[in-house]
Amino acid sequence: MAELPVLELPAALSHCSGRFTISTLLGAEEGGRGPYAATEGAGCDSAHPTHLSGSTLCTRTFGYNTVDVVPAYEHYANSKGVGDAGKGRPSLADLHSILKPDPGRLCAPVAEPQHGNGLPEAGPEEAAGEPGRAPAPEPVRFGWVKGVMIRCMLNIWGVILYLRLPWITAQAGIALTWLIILMSVTVTTITGLSISAISTNGKVKSGGTYFLISRSLGPELGGSIGLIFAFANAVAVAMHTVGFAETVRDLLQEHNSLIVDPTNDIRIIGVVTVTVLLGISLAGMEWEAKAQILFFLVILVSFINYLVGTVIPATAEKQAKGFFSYRADIFAQNFVPSWRGPEGSFFSLFSIFFPSATGILAGANISGDLKDPAVAIPKGTLMAIFWTTVSYLVLSATIGACVVRDASGSLNDSVAVGSPGCEGLACSFGWNFTACAQRQSCRYGLSNYYQSMSMVSGFGPLITAGIFGATLSSALACLVSAPKVFQCLCRDQLYPLIGFFGKGYGRNNEPIRGYMLTYVIAVGFILIAELNAIAPIISNFFLCSYALINFSCFHASITNSPGWRPSFRYYSKWAALFGAAVSVVIMFLLTWWAALIAFGIVIFLLGYVLYKKPDVNWGSSMQASSYNMALNYSVGLSEVDEHIKNYRQGRLGACLVLTGPPNFRPALVDFVGTFTKNLSLMLCGNVLIGPRKQKMPESRLTADGHTKWLMKRKIKAFYTDVVAEDLRSGVQILIQAAGLGKMRPNILALGYKRNWRTASPQSLEDYVGILHDAFDFKYGVCLLRMKEGLNVSRVMQAHADPATLAGEQQASTVFQSEQGKKTIDIYWLFDDGGLTLLIPYLLGRKKRWRKCKIRVFVGGQINRMDEERKAAVTAPSPSPPTPPSTPKPARTPFPGTVCLSCSIKRFDDLITPFRLNDGFKDEATVNEMRQGCPWKISDEEVDKNRAKSLRQVRLNEILLDYSRDAALVAITLPIGRKGGCPSSLYMAWLETLSQDLRPPVILTRGNQENVLTFYCQ
């Protein structure tokens, strides 16, 4: 018989993402037939067709027919919560319960034809679509440059860059101006890092800032900030449009060409401008993006024009206005501050400049229109911050080295160099500005002339064009952002009467109604024509968003939620907290009364959502924090002596561990304690077997000692024991009684029974029965096997004095030592909901295991691998993606036929003592022979499960070949069907699968319900 080849994948056929390497084990149908290949027409783990839930089919996996399926990408997409069974995945009852024959249904020997994504192929009618209907057009999607970087840069650049930065440089000097710029950029950079972390923590949909905050902090804070952020963007459209209208009005005034009067001209120009911008937006995102690129090019040309103007020799007219090209003396004088007027202070200038550093959310606000938000938002936002910062620093340094602070603008003020009575730096250049400087009546110079950039530039009108581009691009970005954010808020239905605006149109799902609402709001504020009072409130709304984004990142990190796994690693939770605090401080520095108004509105909207309690569940960090607080308070109660006035009862648990006395199995305690620490609750269960009257005193005496032993070992866990007549009955009591309310265990962890071959047959039956009971109660199961065993009770007194338990020598285990640069190998053989993948991942986040690289091996089919890996590239992982490659592990050649025969013989020797040797007699005779010994294996059962048995043999060879030097091996636990697989045969499978492995082996099986998702909600 030919063996099943497990092909070594080339680099192009593996997906590597940071610490994760995903490889695919090929099934027999691709690699040839072998001893593991089932005969044609074999049933699904049975000879009879069965009733199965949903549309579950019998598929060929690893060479034999089974209803178990390999992990599929779509099973983890857009899950609404833990406990949702994945689409197409069989339920636990399908895999575990007794099969009921159904002659009317036949089980297909192979799966339906499947696409690469694991979905059944559409039939001819579906493939063709409905008659007369063309396929839906693909929506327009943008990359990180066009969709995020350019959009953010345009929104950051504004009129302050052109009209106020030279004046700030004159007041604060080049040195302090750079400090102001860098302080502002520090806040925006920290916020950009927080945005990057949140946006790479799963799939990001449309809704931008509102979506990121609401899915991180929950609907209460997310809803309030979403509403005010959308309103602030709508009003910001009016602000930028009025800035453009005022510039045009000033040009008209210079040429005596006013339309009506100065105020009404602003209104007329503003309404016409915002109407044109609305038309561009309604034309679609593609046209809007083209307009933004045009504005971007205009601004770049204006920058180049300015830089060229600084090196062109100054004319007499420009010298009269204070421009003398690059001079070291001018740079030295302008390097230090020269405070003037009521705004001549550091924080006043900081409050004026800071709004020009904002605008970093423009790219995130159109997250639904990006090709890959998880890549585009971090890359585009941070690059935009970098390049705009460079432009600010260069502009302040260059203009500070070219223009003096005071100049009269009069050509008659030229004098000979060294003339008496001339004071100031300009005297050395042949100009006497002393008179106007002493009277503080100079009209030109950095301190007096806001249009200094235009004066310095090679061609002044290009700077005006740059101002137009900056204002219009910012207005257009806000006009697009507000409806996108508001549409997502409307669809979530957190507030009444706004659902009407959530409807989308066209291939990009454009919020046309939202655009019209934003247009009405913008026109209303443009008609006021005086936004000086409302502008500080808008700036505070944006800062409030920054504060909450940073707090979202900090809160998600501090709660250690398993759902917080951003692939963007270059962030710090403490930097995020600092950014949140600084944003709040800046709010009060800008305008204290506006900050109070912003907080008041947020608190009011927050209170409304708390009162209404919307029916949404997004798995926010607030939920994780509530659980952690309850967990910490509950664990803290273990350290407090009970008092009659404060008597309470209750035991809480999330992972039930069958430790017996915890000090007997320290490795099992350390293993579970490592991945549950500060994350979930661990409950150590002990079954005292015997009469209740005899065992109750023992329970009371030892319980306190075991709790203290756990505390000394720094394991956050509860200890509880029950008295029962046998082990299985006691475990059934623990499974049903453990926990309180929502804080109930859903994973049963226990050690592997090493002595199953020599133990009493009833204890073997009880052990396997405990696994069946766990599956019946919808628990996940985790078995830990170590080469040296788990039970150390042989080297200590079986029932130690309770007073000495906490003080005894603490045994050291592998889970307490530094692992170094090894690997954690995960063999995710079947789709169990993700628990096989989640537990090793949580373990790998801990300090001692952090250097270990995680390798994931999955079963699959050749025609699915490319699509699966392409989809997996977008999956969240703890580190940023790297080019696809698979490091080839150290390995020896595959064992030959002799070794394979030896392995098969070894398996046969395992089950020989438990065989019934009935000679393929009928079922009635077999049941009679097996009376009183249900663990016996009939010849028919051996033959029927031959392919599955040989699969364990081959998988063990693969494990030895790939994972002999791993720090930990995690394998999906095979399920033995209740009533169809004798306990001795099932234990032989587990023994064969995990034997001869040096590293610890965990055999894990989830309850077939999702514990992972790629989406934020």
AA identity, residue 826: I
d(CA 705, CA 717): 13
CB 967 within 8 A of CB 824: yes
**CB burial string 837-854: b at 16+ within 10 A, e below:** bbbbbbbbbbebbeebbb
Containing 593, the helix (H) or strand (E) segment is helix 592-612
Q: Is the dihedral of CA 23, 27, 33, 37 positive or negative?
A: positive
- By DSSP bridging, strand 59-61 and strand 64-66 are antiparallel
Eight-state DSSP code of residue 714: T
Q: How confident is the model at residue 116 (pLDDT cuts 50, 70, 90)?
A: very low
Secondary element (H or E) of residue 747: strand 747-751
pLDDT tens for 151-204 read: 889 888 877 788 788 888 999 999 999 999 999 899 999 999 998 888 888 777
For the residues 204-220, what does the mean pLDDT come to? 77
Nearest residue to 451 via CA among 463, 459, 462, 440: 463
Position 805 scores a pLDDT of: 58
* Residue 626 to residue 605: CA distance in whole angstroms: 21
Per-residue b or e along 924-940, where b marks 16 or more CB atoms closer than 10 Å to that residue's CB: eebeeebeeeebbbbeb
Does 870 have pLDDT greater than 60? no
Q: For strand 20-26 and strand 15-17, is the pairing parallel, antiparallel, or unpaired? A: antiparallel
Q: How confident is the model at residue 988 (pLDDT cuts 50, 70, 90)?
A: very high
Alpha helices for 255-407 (secondary structure H): 262-282, 285-311, 316-320, 328-335, 346-353, 373-400
* pLDDT tens digit sequence for 755-788: 899 899 899 999 999 999 999 998 999 999 998 8
Amino acid in the structure at residue 727: L
Distance CA 253, CA 258 (A): 6
The CB-side HSE value for 369 (13 A sphere, CA atoms) comes to 27
Residue 658: CA atoms inside 13 Å, Cβ hemisphere, count? Answer: 25
Nearest-angstrom CA–CA distance, 575 and 1001: 38
Q: Indicate the pLDDT class of residue 222, thresholds 50, 70 and 90.
A: confident
Average pLDDT value for residue range 498-511: 80
Identify any residues that bridge with 684 across adjacent strands, giving them in sequence order. Answer: 657, 719
Q: How many CA atoms lie within 13 A of 907 on its CB side?
A: 29
Mean pLDDT of 263-268: 87
Q: Does 600 score more than 70 pLDDT?
A: yes
- pLDDT in the model for residue 794: 60
Token output for 280: 């561009």
Residue 524 · residue 243 · CB < 8 Å: no
Given a cut of 90, is residue 574 above it in pLDDT? yes
Residue 460 has pLDDT above 50, yes or no: yes
Which pairing describes strands 780-785 and 823-828: parallel, antiparallel, or unpaired? unpaired
Q: Distance from CA of residue 419 to its chain's centroid?
A: 69
- Mean pLDDT for 554-563 is 79
Q: What is the predicted pLDDT for the residue at 373?
A: 83
Residue closest to 957 by CA, chosen among 910, 1001, 895 = 895
**CB neighbour list of residue 561: distance below 8 Å, 6 or more residues apart:** 621, 624, 679
Comparing CA positions, the residue from 349, 363, 361 lying closest to residue 550 is 361
pLDDT score recorded for residue 706: 87
682-702 tens-digit pLDDT: 889 999 988 888 888 888 888
Mean predicted confidence (pLDDT) in 195-217: 79
Q: What is the pLDDT of residue 637?
A: 62
Question: For residue 767, what pLDDT is reported?
Answer: 93
> What are the backbone dihedrals phi and psi of residue 638, each rounded to the nearest 5 degrees, phi first?
-65, -20
Give which of 47, 24, 33, 9 is closest to 980, Cα–Cα.
Answer: 47
Q: What is the mean pLDDT of the chain?
A: 78
What digits encode the pLDDT tens for the residues 294-328? Answer: 989 999 999 999 999 999 888 888 888 888 888 89
- Give the ranges where 17-164 is alpha helix by DSSP (H): 28-31, 92-96, 124-128, 144, 150-156, 159-163
Residue 32 has pLDDT above 70, yes or no: no
What's residue 6's pLDDT? 39
- Whether the per-residue pLDDT at 1003 is higher than 90: the answer is yes
Nearest of 761, 766, 786 to residue 665 by alpha carbon? 786
Residue 529's pLDDT is 67
Q: Which tokens is 696 given? A: 């109750």
Quote the pLDDT of residue 61.
62
